[in-house]
Structures are given as structure tokens and as C-alpha cells.
């Protein structure tokens, strides 16, 4: 029986320099430890307005699932099947709910100035998700293969053609629009929403306007506020300022 | 006079905020919140689907068009031959018959060139009619059309188009006698093709067995007035807030309200370049929304509006 160590038991020399190790460290550092799915939130997260972000995400799940069911029968299925028509109705109303909750969420975040504290990219990805969703919903109306899609496509073509977009994005080509609606745009919106959620978890929920960090308000020697152990600081990322990079690198917090 | 230098790490910009992780916390079950939200959204969508259903007004077939508005089909086919329809005078991306819209000196419409070639006279009228070449009258009309000069063709078609416009209800049977060449036969041939149900297939499947591109039948249908008449009857016209609506009493796409709004007000409502102007404005506004965190004045506006006090009723201590 061989006594030679296997690859897995061999001591690793300079293992932290491998691409895999670097990727792992980068992924782990995207969000502070314990903040991917925390069971505690800052005490100021206590308003109904916070519900609309998660409601928006939940309705997106209903949109996607009902849309996936519609793909089973094909583009024309819902015209001839009562089940298909019902699923189409669920898809339509979940889209309406998705936009309603998204717009309330957006306005809520505007009034909270939720971009404060280096959360600019969080706001920007949210706005991009909104515009991506507009395009996805629009292509959905184009592939209904009914009178609405006839009228909407023949009207919308003029704006798109005038902007030079119609040359590549032909709203009257049902085949092209079906692929954009069920494949390309959902992937793009899904990626943007994923990045948005990552940034939300990375930075945490924005503190109230005018709030000071508790440790700034305390006198020297007074105890820290009650709560769980602080998570580790996020690793330097693309959305951090140079000051913050310096602080996170040295393990200090603002 | 000496100035106190604030350390760089202590400086507060317009969008400074303390670290959220430094605040006291409370229990918050994110997973439970999401599951409850998912159930609520699913129930709301299912109940709305049961109560309100969804609109599905069948598409207008070219056969229906021929049966419901035969005079419109004849007038449209004549317009395609005369080169006076929307498609025939469009420009890029369909053809070079028009300049398209421009934003000042820049024509974004012309930049990509013709990417979806459409020759309305040939694509919508002449080529489909070749399938009827077994009919002596149509075959003779096609030969006469092909043998004429472009000027002669236009002259015949324009004269017949004018005559149709003067006839009661645009009825071809009531057109005054004139020199229209083969145009009346060609236009009636298109009507016959549409009425038979064959025209759609000839327009969608001519270049491919799989007819997944409905551009040409839609362009032909939109060149007529029947589609718009039906849409306006349902309050879907461009000056009726257009494409953000849908048939029936359904919400449509209310999220497009701002885009549609500009078409209702001057100068866009009276501009020949309204489409590109509205697009340019919306692109600017969209970039502005994305960049709010970096726009001085706008990024601090919520602080002055004070709505945040309704959200955070108690200042954290």
C-alpha cells in the first residue's frame, strides 16, 4: 500500500495564490460575513415601505414561474386553451403587481435618499432593473399574437426606427420578439436584480437621514449599543471610495 | 487666522451616511418575510386572474380586412403602387424612399441603413399577384405593368388613387372612368388574394417555410386605415395615450405614461420629428434617474422634502 500523500493531503505551497483561491476570497468578500442572509436588521428598519422591495422580488418570482408555464404550450396556446388563458391572466396581473411594488419601492428609496453611504450603485442597478423590466414587459405585449400586439408593434416601430434601434430590434418580427422576451431580457433583468440584491446585502440598509453612528454619539468609555457581534467589514470593491478601501484594509470602521 | 484641517476620513460628502452595521439591531426574519410576500403576491395575481381575466381580442387577419373593409384594401394596394403609403415613403430601415426623422442635423434613423428591405409595390402587390398568373386578366395586367415606365406606372396608380378618393365611400365600382392602366385589375387582384386568405401566407412565408416574421403583413395592414379605425374605436390612438393602453378595461402598460405623455403636448404633438425627440428626451431623463446619486442638488433633495420623517418616525439613538 502506497504511503505517498494524495493530492488532497499534500501540503499546499502558496495555495492562496491560485485563481480558485482568489475567486473564493473575492466571492466571500463581496458581502460582510454573516450578511448574506442575516436574521437581524438595524432597529431603524421598521416601516411598511421596506415591504415593497421584497414584495417586488416575490412578484417577480410569480412573473417568471407563470411565464415558464406559458412557454410549455407555445406562443399561441393561450388563445385556444382555458388553462392557457388563465395562466396568461396570472402572468399579466403578476406583472402589474411587479411594477406597482417596484415603483413604490423606487419612490420610497428616493425619499430615503437611499444612495447615501456609497450606495450609488445600488440605486443605479435598481433603476436599470426598472428600465430592463420596461423592455421585457413591452416585448411581452408584442408577442401576444392578438390585436393588441398588432397595434402596439405597428405604432412602436416608428419611435424605435427614428432612434435607429428598429434596424436591429424589429418589433413586428414575432420570432425575434419571442426570443427577446423569454430568454435575453429575462436573463439581463435577472442579472441586474442579482447585482442589486448583492449590493443591498453588501452595504446594508441605509440609515435614516441625519442619523449618527451610535459609537459617535457615545461618550468615551460608555458601552457599545446592544446587538450581535459586528460583521466583518466588506472587502474593498469597485463601489468603494479610496478612503473606505483604506479603512476596510486596515480593519477599521467609520 | 488658522484653519482646522479635518482628516480626510472624517470629511462628509453630500451623500455621507454612517455604517449601517454599527447600529443596534433587532430580530428580522428575511426568509419568512419573502415567503409571506410570495404567497400574498401569488394569491393576489390568481384572484385578479379569476376576477378580471385578461384581454385577448383576436388579431385582424388580412382576410377579415378584405371582408370588413374591401374598399380600404383596394385603396391601400393602389397606394402601394403609387408609392404614397406610409411604407412606400418610409425610409430606413425599410427603404430609401424617405429621409426619416432627424434630431437637428443628426439622423439616427439613417445611420444603420436599410436592414429590413421592403419594396411595397413589389412585395405587397406585384409578387403576390404572380401566384394568380393563371388568370388571364391578372396576367395581362401584370405584363402591362411590367412593360410600363416607372413614370407611367406612378401616373396610372396616382390617377386611380385620386379617383378612389373622390368616389362615394371609396367604392371602386363607383370610380369615374379614366386612364388607370392595369391598376384597377391589380388592386382588385390583391383584394381577391386577401379575401381568399392566401395573402398572409404569401407575405410571411415567401422567403422561408417558417413564417415567424410578420413585418410585411403588419406593414401592409398598417398602411390601410382599417387597423387604426379599430384602434381608435378602443381609445388606442396616438393622441389617446396610445400604446400604454390595451383593449378593454385593463390597465395596459401604465409604466409607459411618461413616454406617452410627451406625445400629447407641444412641441412634440405637432413635430414632424416627434418620435426621435421623445426618445432623446426619455433617454436623457432615464440617465438622469440612474445618476441621481451623483447629481448635485437632486441627490440632497429628499433631505429637504422631509418625506423621510414619515418612514423613520423615531431618530435612532
Question: Where do we find the cell 470629511?
Answer: B11
Which chain A positions have a beta carbon within 8 Å of B50's beta carbon?
Answer: 86, 89
pLDDT in tens, B23-41: 999 999 999 999 999 999 9
Give the nearest chain A residue to B246 (CA atoms): A148
Would you call B25 and A149 a contact, using CB atoms and an 8 Å cutoff?
A: no
Give yes or no: residues A168 and A196 share one domain: yes
Give the nearest chain A residue to B27 (CA atoms): A40
Predicted-complex ipTM score:
0.91
In-domain check, residue A7: no
Could you tell me which residues come within 8 angstroms of residue B252 by beta carbon, excluding any fewer than 6 positions away?
A: B244, B245, B246
Q: What is the distance between the alpha carbons of residues B208 and B200, in angstroms, rounded to a whole number?
A: 13
In-domain check, residue A211: no
pLDDT given for residue B206 in this prediction: 62
Domain ranges of chain B: 62-206+213-233, 254-291
Give yes or no: residues A125 and A202 share one domain: yes
Chain A closest-CA separation from residue B140 CA (Å): 34
Q: What is the distance between the alpha carbons of residues B293 and B274, in angstroms, rounded to a whole number?
A: 30
pLDDT given for residue B188 in this prediction: 97
Choice among A212-226, B37-51, B214-228, B289-303 with the minimum mean pLDDT: A212-226
**Which of A86, A182, A107, A104 is CA-nearest to residue A137?**
A182
- For an interface test with B, the pick among A40, A48, A162, A169 (most B C-beta atoms closer than 10 Å) comes out as A162
pLDDT in tens, B248-269: 888 889 999 999 999 999 999 9
pLDDT in tens, A5-21: 444 445 454 557 899 99
Per DSSP, what are the bridge partners of residue B27? A40
Q: What is the distance between the alpha carbons of residues B297 and A139, in angstroms, rounded to a whole number?
A: 36
**Does residue B289 belong to the interface with chain A, where contact is any CB pair within 8 Å?**
yes
Tell me how far apart the terminal alpha carbons of chain B are, to the nearest angstrom. 37
Would you call B315 and A211 a contact, using CB atoms and an 8 Å cutoff?
A: yes
- For an interface test with B, the pick among A113, A206, A207, A246 (most B C-beta atoms closer than 10 Å) comes out as A113
Give the nearest chain A residue to B115 (CA atoms): A167
**Does residue B207 belong to the interface with chain A, where contact is any CB pair within 8 Å?**
no
Q: Among A79, A112, A145, give the residue marking a domain's end.
A: A112
Region for A116 from its dihedrals, namely left if φ exceeds 0, alpha if ψ lies in -120 to 50, beta otherwise: beta
pLDDT given for residue A17 in this prediction: 86
Would you call A94 and B45 a contact, using CB atoms and an 8 Å cutoff?
A: yes
Would you call B45 and A59 a contact, using CB atoms and an 8 Å cutoff?
A: yes
Give yes or no: residues A89 and A152 share one domain: no
Whether residue B218 contacts residue B76, with contact meaning beta carbons closer than 8 Å, is answered with: no
Give the nearest chain B residue to A31 (CA atoms): B21
Which chain A positions have a beta carbon within 8 Å of B289's beta carbon?
Answer: 127
Chain A closest-CA separation from residue B12 CA (Å): 10
DSSP character string of B244-309: G--SSS----GGGHHHHHHHHSTTGGG-TTHHHHHHHHHHHHHHHHHTGGGSTTTTTHHHHH-THH
Whether residue B44 contacts residue A97, with contact meaning beta carbons closer than 8 Å, is answered with: yes
Would you call A38 and B28 a contact, using CB atoms and an 8 Å cutoff?
A: yes
Would you call B37 and A247 a contact, using CB atoms and an 8 Å cutoff?
A: no
pLDDT given for residue B315 in this prediction: 55
pTM of the model: 0.87
DSSP character string of chain A: ---SPPTTTSPPSSGGGSHHHHHHHHHHHSS-TT-SS-SEEETT--SGGGHHHHHHHHHHHHHHHHHHHHHHH-TTHHHH-HHHHHHHHHHHHHHHHHHHHHHHHHHHHHHTTTTTTT-HHHHHHHHHHHHHHHHHHHHHHHTT-SHHHHHHHHHHHHHHHHTT-TTT--TT-HHHHHHIIIIIHHHHHHHHHHHHHHHHHHH-SPPPTT---HHHHSPTTPPPPSSSPPPPPPPP-TTS-HHHHHHHHTT---
Structural domain range at position A93: 47-112
Give B175's DSSP letter. P
In-domain check, residue A103: yes
Q: What is the distance between the alpha carbons of residues B152 and B158, in angstroms, rounded to a whole number?
A: 10
Return the SS3 of B90.
coil
Cell numbers that stand for B288 in this block: 438622469
Give yes or no: residues A53 and A129 share one domain: no
Give yes or no: residues A107 and A124 share one domain: no
Q: For B20, which of A86, A207, A243 is closest by C-beta distance? A: A207
- Inter-CA distances, A171 with A77, A144, A153, Å: 21, 12, 5
Give yes or no: residues A104 and A130 share one domain: no
A191-195 average pLDDT score: 97
Would you call B58 and A173 a contact, using CB atoms and an 8 Å cutoff?
A: no
Q: What is the distance between the alpha carbons of residues A139 and A76, in angstroms, rounded to a whole number?
A: 15
Q: How far is CA B27 from the centre of its chain?
A: 50
Task: For residue B237, name the pLDDT band (cuts at 50, 70, 90).
Answer: confident
Longest dimension (CA), chain B: 105
Would you call A40 and B53 a contact, using CB atoms and an 8 Å cutoff?
A: no
Q: For B26, which of A41, A103, A110 is closest by C-beta distance? A: A41
Percent helix / strand / coil, chain B, rounded to 5: 60, 0, 40
Task: For residue A218, name the pLDDT band (cuts at 50, 70, 90).
Answer: very low
- For an interface test with A, the pick among B18, B108, B263 (most A C-beta atoms closer than 10 Å) comes out as B18
Would you call A174 and B21 a contact, using CB atoms and an 8 Å cutoff?
A: no
Return the SS3 of B130.
helix
Would you call B19 and A213 a contact, using CB atoms and an 8 Å cutoff?
A: yes
Return the SS3 of B25.
strand
Give yes or no: residues A148 and A198 share one domain: yes
Instruction: Domain count for chain A, please give it.
Output: 2
**Which of A81, A252, A206 is CA-nearest to residue B302?**
A206
pLDDT given for residue A42 in this prediction: 93
Give yes or no: residues A142 and A201 share one domain: yes
- Inter-CA distances, A144 with A80, A147, A178, B55, B95, Å: 13, 8, 9, 10, 28
Amino acid at each position: 500500500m502506497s504511503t505517498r500523500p494524495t493530492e488532497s493531503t499534500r501540503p499546499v505551497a502558496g495555495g492562496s495564490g491560485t485563481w480558485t483561491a482568489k475567486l473564493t476570497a473575492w466571492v466571500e468578500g463581496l458581502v460582510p460575513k454573516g450578511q448574506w442572509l442575516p436574521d437581524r436588521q438595524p432597529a431603524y428598519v421598521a416601516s411598511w415601505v421596506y415591504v415593497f422591495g421584497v414584495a417586488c422580488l416575490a412578484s417577480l418570482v410569480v412573473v417568471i414561474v407563470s411565464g415558464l408555464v406559458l412557454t410549455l404550450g407555445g406562443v399561441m396556446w393561450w388563445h385556444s386553451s382555458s388553462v392557457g388563458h388563465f395562466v396568461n391572466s396570472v402572468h399579466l396581473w403578476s406583472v402589474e403587481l411587479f411594477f406597482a411594488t417596484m415603483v413604490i419601492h423606487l419612490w420610497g428609496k428616493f425619499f430615503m435618499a437611499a444612495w447615501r453611504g456609497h450606495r450609488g450603485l445600488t440605486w443605479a442597478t435598481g433603476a436599470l432593473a426598472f428600465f430592463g423590466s420596461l423592455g421585457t414587459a413591452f416585448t411581452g405585449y408584442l408577442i401576444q399574437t392578438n390585436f393588441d400586439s398588432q397595434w402596439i408593434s405597428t405604432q412602436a416601430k416608428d419611435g424605435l426606427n427614428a432612434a435607429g434601434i428598429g434596424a436591429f430590434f424589429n418589433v413586428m418580427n414575432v420570432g425575434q420578439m419571442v426570443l427577446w422576451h423569454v430568454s435575453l431580457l429575462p436573463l439581463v433583468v435577472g442579472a441586474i436584480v442579482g447585482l442589486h440584491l448583492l449590493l443591498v446585502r453588501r452595504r446594508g440598509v441605509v440609515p435614516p437621514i441625519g442619523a449618527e453612528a451610535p459609537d459617535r454619539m457615545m461618550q468615551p468609555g460608555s458601552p457599545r449599543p446592544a446587538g450581535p457581534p459586528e460583521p466583518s467589514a466588506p472587502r474593498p470593491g469597485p463601489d468603494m471610495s479610496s478612503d473606505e478601501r483604506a479603512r476596510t484594509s486596515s480593519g477599521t470602521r467609520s | 487666522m488658522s484653519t482646522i484641517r479635518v482628516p480626510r476620513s472624517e470629511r462628509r460628502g453630500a451623500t455621507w451616511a454612517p455604517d449601517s452595521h454599527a447600529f443596534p439591531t433587532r430580530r428580522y426574519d428575511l426568509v419568512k418575510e419573502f415567503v409571506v410576500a410570495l404567497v400574498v403576491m401569488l394569491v393576489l395575481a390568481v384572484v385578479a386572474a379569476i376576477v378580471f381575466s385578461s384581454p385577448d381580442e383576436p388579431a385582424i387577419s388580412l382576410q377579415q380586412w378584405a371582408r370588413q373593409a374591401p374598399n380600404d384594401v383596394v385603396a391601400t394596394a393602389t397606394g402601394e403602387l403609387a408609392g404614397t403609403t406610409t411604407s412606400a415613403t418610409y425610409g430606413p430601415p425599410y427603404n430609401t424612399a424617405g429621409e426619416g426623422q432627424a434630431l437637428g442635423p443628426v439622423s439616427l434613423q439613417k445611420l444603420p441603413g436599410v436592414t429590413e428591405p421592403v419594396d411595397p409595390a413589389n412585395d405587397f402587390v406585384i409578387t403576390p399577384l404572380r401566384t394568380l398568373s393563371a388568370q388571364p386578366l391578372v396576367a395581362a395586367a401584370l405584363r402591362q405593368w411590367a412593360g410600363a415606365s416607372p413614370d407611367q406606372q406612378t401616373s396610372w396608380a396616382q390617377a386611380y388613387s385620386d379617383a378612389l378618393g373622390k368616389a362615394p365611400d371609396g367604392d371602386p365600382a363607383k370610380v369615374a372612368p379614366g386612364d388607370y392602366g392595369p391598376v384597377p385589375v391589380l388592386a382588385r387582384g390583391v383584394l381577391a388574394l386577401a379575401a381568399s386568405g392566401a395573402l398572409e401566407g404569401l407575405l410571411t412565408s415567401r422567403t422561408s417555410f417558417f413564417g415567424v416574421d410578420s413585418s410585411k403583413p403588419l406593414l401592409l395592414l398598417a398602411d390601410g386605415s382599417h387597423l387604426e379605425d379599430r384602434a381608435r374605436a378602443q381609445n388606442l390612438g396616438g393622441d389617446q395615450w396610445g400604446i400604454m393602453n390595451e383593449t378593454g378595461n385593463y390597465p395596459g402598460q401604465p409604466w409607459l405614461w411618461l413616454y406617452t405623455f410627451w406625445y400629447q403636448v407641444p412641441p412634440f404633438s405637432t413635430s414632424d420629428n416627434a418620435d426621435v425627440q421623445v426618445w432623446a428626451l426619455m433617454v436623457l431623463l432615464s440617465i438622469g434617474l440612474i445618476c441621481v446619486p451623483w447629481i448635485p442638488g437632486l441627490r440632497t433633495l429628499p433631505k429637504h422634502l422631509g418625506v423621510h420623517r414619515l418612514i423613520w418616525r423615531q431618530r435612532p439613538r
